[in-house]
Amino acid sequence: MKLSQFNFELPPELLAEYPSEHRDEARLMVLNRKEQTIEHKLFKDLINYFDEGDVMMLNNTKVFPARMYGNKEKTGARIEVFLLRELNAEHRLWDVLVDPARKIRIGNKLFFGEDESLVAEVIDNTTSRGRTLRFLFDGPYDEFRRKLIELGQTPLPKYIKRDVEPEDEERYQTIYAKHEGAVAAPTAGLHFSKHLMKRLEIKGVDFAEMTLHVGLGTFNPVEVEDLSKHKMDSEKIIIPEEACNVVNNALENKKRICAVGTTVMRTVESSVSANQRLNEFTGWTNKFIFPPYDFSIANSMVTNFHTPKSTLLMMVAAFAGYDFVMEAYEQAVKEKYKFYSYGDAMLII
């Protein structure tokens, strides 16, 4: 398939700047692949599509406050620094993106905090906007991490033009987030409330937790018309034995297995055995799923509404069928569903 096939007109007012007041009251579009029907519900109605023994696979990554603002030495120019990944804990080395990048060269120093209590030195250029920073911090590692969290902001997506609000710290985190390491939330999971999780549990639905630390690679634009030539950035994944047991048991019993989000789908499809079972795994994945693709584990999925030409939209089209998904998106625009991180949701069964 070609990149241009995933383009559509998305009115800017449909990009959600705020989430629903209650997490589970976002709108939910339900796509039934077998019947080729589309229903309009609320997210909390999701429970009606799952029964005892069915499984929800969740990404329990936790977003850390990855966006920082510093000042360049001598000029005092304000520089945005987006922490991508820690390269070396002992030497305080981090891969980052800087903006404006043209001002930041190897050897420059950046000062963070009103008291300039944290300093970083640029030691490498990695891409046009990418740099490697060495943070100059004398205290123990725990103290250094606390300082990063104190100075960082919730990394809301760039399309959200408003300032970060204190409430975003809680809004932009799933209620089951456990393992810190993501620079963006696995957004499908943001719709789950404690109340809905409890109701699902009472109904006998099982949960299988795994981790994919979302990096910015998930959102990198595709710049090649031939999708087979696009390369995804690698992201860290952890699939524990416990999750494999829950999922494989449900596969044996022909239950509904739901991937909550594209990150979960990429995680499980990165570690499938020859007999189509989920394998325990800790490592990295750069899996890029686009049509046509045969899925091995999940037979349903929850996802948000994604932006045109995104790798996320391509995966959803691979799962539900290209024509069906593009028809659903046309309806979503017409019915004014909200798109992207704080937007509405889709359930594909």
Q: Tell me the mean pLDDT in the region 98-117.
A: 90
pLDDT exceeds cutoff 90 at 131: yes
Encode pLDDT of 303-326 as tens digits. 999 999 999 999 999 999 999 999
Q: Tell me the mean pLDDT in the region 25-40.
A: 98
Q: What is the DSSP string of 138-170?
A: -S-HHHHHHHHHHH-B----TT--SPP-TTHHH
pLDDT exceeds cutoff 80 at 327: yes
| Of 39-53, 118-132, 207-221, highest mean pLDDT | 39-53
**DSSP helix/strand/coil, 283:** strand
pLDDT at 220: 75
pLDDT at 185: 93
Give the predicted TM-score (pTM) of the model.
0.91
CB 20 within 8 A of CB 5: no
pLDDT exceeds cutoff 90 at 85: no
**DSSP helix/strand/coil, 326:** helix
CA distances from 181 to 98, 292, 347 (A): 19, 31, 27
Crossing angle between the packed helical segments 262-269 and 311-320, to the nearest 10 degrees: 70
Q: Provide the token pair at 31.
A: 């796509």
Of the candidate ranges 60-64, 126-130, 181-185, 263-267, the one whose mean pLDDT is the lowest: 126-130
- What HEC string does 175-223 produce? CCCCEEEECCCCHHHHHCCHHHHHHHHHHCCEEEEEEECCCHHHHCCCC
Encode pLDDT of 146-160 as tens digits. 999 999 999 888 888
Encode pLDDT of 184-234 as tens digits. 999 999 999 999 999 999 999 999 999 999 987 777 789 999 999 999 988
pLDDT-based confidence at 138, cuts 50/70/90? confident
pLDDT-based confidence at 126, cuts 50/70/90? confident
Q: Tell me the mean pLDDT in the region 56-68.
A: 95
